Structure 1
Amino acid sequence: MIARNANIDLNLLTALDALLEEESVTAAADRLGLSGPAMSRALGRIRRTIGDPVLVRAGRRMVPTPRALEIRAEVRGLVEAAHRLLAPSAPADPAQLARVFTLSAHDLFVSAVGPRLVALAAEEAPQVVLRFLGESHVDVPVLRDGVADLELGIIGQREPEIRTEHLFNDRGVAVVRAGHPLTTARLTARRYADAPHINFTRRGRLTGPIDAALAELGLRRRVIATVPTFAASLLMVRDSDAVGLANEVTAASTVRGLGLCTLPIPFDLPPMEVAMAWHPRQDADPGHRWLRGLVRRVVMAAVSAESAREQP
């Protein structure tokens, strides 16, 4: 066993391993890309550190001492372990991955990409479980605190260390039931504002960016209810004359599935930047990299499919 010493230069382990393998200062130097004098100096430091000559001359060659033979296998194992420890992580093998990944996302995004995400994960990584975590009504640092592994949606302001990857830009559209009065004529900002509105917001707010845009036009919409989920807002819209709000691309399949109609909002709104976010401690993790790749593929495939539907 090599004695513990706080002053040991761990680089000497690599030099010692090469010397014991080659049994030659010159060959060990060539193996490590060092000069002969540099390797000789390393051998001198090794001898002083372990208190043993390690290699001694026997005629024209050098042979290991009994102490060197005793520690040779241990030194080789330590060097190999260090190489494994410090080598870049290999890509994850999804088939062997057995983990639970927690994703924080609004129900709009869960309903839009969740089914395909779960299906593809089950196909590629049958031992992986995807756990979707609903958004809180207050801002909580779920990524920093390790509550969630990945956040998907309109990310907004997050802690400065959080990594984000932009996926695509979406835009807001009005959602109404089939045969709604707003579908019978050109939709103006005035007609839009005068209609009854349903808000969906996790914080229960009665106003948002759309109200700021209307205020610049001297208009104010009439909000009759606010609900915490996208699904609830669509069901209310389906059974009333209320107007809802949705992300055009993200919500398209859900809106179609409920037989609802979308109308372009007749004034300018800032784009909705859809992204995924994670804490930097997950950056190099092979399993997390696979998860990010999975989300990226599913989201971009959904965007491409929706774009293709819009083509004449």
Structure 2
Amino acid sequence: MIRKYLPAIAAFLLLVFTSCVSRPQFSVEDEALLYPVSSYVPDSFEWQEVCPGISRFDYKNSGFPIIYHVVKIDLTLAGLSLSCFPDKGGAQPFIFRGLKTKNFAKKYDCTVAVNLSPFAGKNGAWDLAAKLGTSRQIVGVHVADGLLLSAPVERYAGIYFKSEVDDVGQNYWLASIEKNQSEKAASESDYAFGGFYVVLENGEVIDSFRRNHDTRTGFGISDAGKTLYIMVAEGENTLKSEGLSYPQCAAIFKALGCTDALEMDGGGSSELCINGKSILSYKNLRTQANSLGFSVKTPGDLN
């Protein structure tokens, strides 16, 4: 009888213990000595096309060890659409049943899908019940197709997407990053999502953060907001990949050509899916609070 429940028990223990892993903190000098930039920033980025306008880069260095993934999206791509979960809700604070990013990706037929914001449980706390349960409150701004579902939190950063029209009448997306979430930016955006902190600002790495290595999800922008980079660094299985610090993430975003970048919810919440499948080397067990997806319609679909 017990054997029947062994998979569920194993999943529970894995979630609990990977959520409570002690992460060593490094000084600036020690991180530079133990993890030189060359150990996590390659000389060049070799992109693999996912579809026209979207490509991916996967990095692995088993010597340190580190694994991370980057997706590059041309936001001016014809037929590119955005979707998110949740996309409807009620009064603040909006409490809802979360949805795993991989399930969101399949449900919304996303070419690319990624987790987003930090969150709390039904009682407003980040505790074991929040980690293991599915009741969610988003911490920070969440705007879905112009609808505000979660209010801005000023101390945290946010990423904003707005639909624009070019000189020939073609629609495209423009992304921007704000160091402090605001009601004004949220009201002017079609989509907006809160994260934690800006790590790259005007091309300069912000190096004042603690240097603890963990699983990370982050966004970077270049080309005045017309190109988006999504990066997820693995860190739940530390034997394969220890994760990255915020300044290390910033250094990668800078090497990619980004002007600005921010970190979203990381740790056990990090997830990245391409064509409906997770590309991480381990199974993510957590139910995410919110997710963002990008889909590309072919010329035939646009007719």
Which category describes the TM-score, using the shorter chain as reference length? under 0.3
Larger RCO (alpha carbons 8 Å, 6+ apart): 2
Structure holding more helix per residue: 1
Structure holding more strand per residue: 2
Structure whose alpha-carbon radius of gyration is higher: 1
- Give the structure-1-normalised TM-score: 0.21
